[in-house]
Amino acid sequence: MTLKLPTLIATSVVRGSQQGESHGGVYTIDFDKQKLDQHVDWNTSEINFSGRGADRGLRGISLDNDDVLVAASDELFCYSKDFEVRESWRNRYLNHCHEICRVDRMLFLTSTGHDAILAFDLDKKAFVWGFHLQRQLGKWGGFAFDPRTENGPRAFNDLHINMVHVDSTGLYISGLRTGALLHVNNQNMVTEVCNLPSGTHNARPFQNGIIFNDTASDCLRVVPRQGAGQAFKIRGYDPEHIEFAGIDDSKIARQAFGRGLCVIDDRFIAGGSSPSTVTLYDLKANEIVASVNITMDIRNAIHGLAVWAD
């Protein structure tokens, strides 16, 4: 039986350059038909996608029926499936957003610039809850706050929270400097699930273990609670084929930078990297199924990934 490969939707950011210098935006990638389409061009859009941090462009992405929800640095956008902007929302505590996660009628967003998670009610169309993560005297903690008030946290980016995942077991948080995957229960108690390497992106529970981009080691890892894990080397390219290498103003853009992760089912996962590349992995066969490169511009990096349903 021939397996039908998925279609994914991806966002890209531009690392260390200014708008107009490098293309980025929103793409759909049909691995089955081997077709790539760009739907939003960050360069030509009238929307200001810039913000604090080194990455400029679009970040986390999630689908809600006929809505495509996409986060920029400090604004949440709602697109139609024809990629026309329907609405957008800002909040004083949404700063340098990275990833988003939808569960039922609630969308959770990382607010990296406030070491916080925000919750957006999709029916009320309002930010209704927040949680500020703290580490004091070697212990994890935090507090919930109402993002509609002025009683939230000041701007902090000590932990660089870059991932949120929510399921029936609670809320999970990780970041470049958390050093661990963290669990927040319904009493707002924070506990460590497991240690993580420094510089990790997209860490979340998966099956009976965890999955994450081990960005510093240029690997995507699947780690079960017991038994041997899997590690997939992130795709690299001949340096001669890389465009704009070494010229970005921040000196942070590099190839094989792993960020962006999508769990398709128990067998297939997809990961993003730079220069903007999306790779499909088969966990059962322990191999790469396909890989699509959008651009060889090293400043252009995949950020958000989700399964696209036509």
Confidence class for position 9, pLDDT limits 50, 70, 90:
very high
Contact predicate 100/62, CB 8 Å: yes
Alpha carbons 201 and 278: distance in angstroms, whole number = 15
pLDDT of residue 14: 81
Domain ranges of the chain: 7-307
Task: Tell me the range of 18-27, 67-76, 239-248 where mean pLDDT is highest.
Answer: 67-76
What pTM does this model have? 0.92
Tokens of 275: 């220069």
CATH classification code of 7-307: 2.120.10.30
| CB-based contacts of 166, cutoff 8 Å, min separation 6 | 101, 103, 106, 108, 172
pLDDT of residue 53: 45
Task: Tell me the range of 52-56, 143-147, 248-252 where mean pLDDT is highest.
Answer: 143-147
Contact predicate 271/256, CB 8 Å: no
Q: Is the confidence at residue 206, as pLDDT, over 50?
A: yes
Tell me the average pLDDT across 209-229: 92
Burial per residue of 75-93, b for 16 or more beta-carbon CB atoms within 10 angstroms, e otherwise? bbbbbeeeeeeeeeeebeb
Ramachandran angles phi, psi of 190, nearest 5°: -110, 130
Percentage of the chain lying above the pLDDT 90 cut: 70
pLDDT of residue 142: 96
Percentage of the chain lying above the pLDDT 70 cut: 89
Q: Single out the residue of 9, 18, 24, 111 nearest to residue 67, CA to CA.
A: 9
pLDDT of residue 310: 60
Tell me the average pLDDT across 241-270: 80
The model's pLDDT over 14-70, given as tens digits with 9 standing for 90+, comes to 865 554 454 468 999 999 888 899 998 866 555 555 544 445 778 999 999 999 999
- Reduce the DSSP state of residue 215 to 3 states and report it: helix
DSSP state of 4: P
pLDDT of residue 123: 97
